[in-house]
Amino acid sequence: MKTLLCDLGGTNCRLGFALNGKVIEQSIHRFENSLFATFSDLLKHYLSDEKDAPGAVIVALAAPVGGDAISLTNLNWKIDRYEIMRSTMSNDVYFMNDFEALGYALMRPQDLTTKTLQTGSFVEGGQRLVLGAGTGFNCALLLPEGNVVKCEAGHSTFVCETEIDQALQDHFSKKFGRCSNDRVLSGSGLIELYRLICHLNGCSPKCESSEQLIQLANASADTSESQACEEFSRILGRCVGDLALVFHAEGGIYLSGGVTRALETFFNSPKSKFFEAFRNKGRMQESMNKLPLHVIMDDNAALYGCANLHNH
């Protein structure tokens, strides 16, 4: 029987099937969450042409996982195990964190479409780290024996090093009570950073979305838009480097998330603030130069991770 795979983020949901542990590529579809009132409505829409109930359902969620009912961090939906059973007619429903799924995807990185930013020195059997910015920020670690360490790194406290960092922290702390990496390293965080830079530069913001902002930044250098993307890349590079050290990721670091991918051109620029911050680790700088670093360009990576978990 086929297994139903789901990658449910704060903005989009991707669904597909796996058979005998292999993802059926033509079954994969992406849906905007805003077009559906509930997750069950989305599932029923996707399964409307299916004659047979799936043998199992694996749902990767953008939220801490625990219990039978889970509230998403960046979407006002409650995901209920028993409601999914009724919607899919399957009695086997498994929840996992979306970055946990990405961690399992690293069991077979050769199945993923990636772009290498730093070749480094790959260590066979080394720990592999996946992290990135999208609707929010998080990471996960794949251990050599194939298990994944789940994290909530996005909710750790944002670190300040520059005047812009301090202004960001003040802004988010005043608005939310504290400033976390998840608030800053996200699409909405990029827009907040951009508005702050526009204020400091004495100009009015031109963009309302991170997509529009990055598009303008790529088209023209030395603007508030490009400055916002460069500063965001610096903050992301610093955080990636910190987590790479924490987890000793000699097996490779894999960057994911829609915002991360969209900013990839800023990582490889001649004066890349991303790499400057990533490598600027004092006595550990030489070690940072040796870590393999890749960008996951594959939107369906979490679905591969769900399938790998089912086989694990």
pLDDT at 65: 86
Res 72: pLDDT: 80
Average pLDDT score over residue span 105-117: 93
Residue 282's pLDDT is what?
A: 94
φ/ψ of residue 198, rounded to 5: -60, -40
Q: What fold is seen in the domain 114-296?
A: Hexokinase; domain 1 (3.40.367)
Q: Using CB atoms within 10 Å of the CB of residue 132, give its burial: 0 to 12 exposed, 13 to 18 middle, 19+ buried.
A: buried
Which range among 62-66, 108-112, 302-306 shows the weakest confidence by mean pLDDT? 62-66
Asked if residue 312 has pLDDT above 70, the reply is no
Is the pTM for the entire model greater than 0.85? yes
For the cut 80, the answer to whether the pLDDT of residue 310 exceeds it is no
Question: Model confidence over 52-73: pLDDT tens digits?
Answer: 889 999 999 988 888 889 988 7
Tens digit of pLDDT for each residue in 134-189?
888 999 999 999 999 988 899 999 999 999 999 999 999 999 999 999 999 999 99
Distances (CA, A) of 117 to 186, 296, 297: 21, 11, 12
Q: How confident is the model at residue 221 (pLDDT cuts 50, 70, 90)?
A: confident
- 105 or 76, which is more confident: 105
CA 290: distance to chain centroid?
23
Q: Which of 81, 142, 135, 104 is nearest to 18 (CA)?
A: 104
Domain ranges of the chain: 3-103+300-311, 114-296
The domain made up of 3-103+300-311 has a fold known as Nucleotidyltransferase; domain 5 (3.30.420)
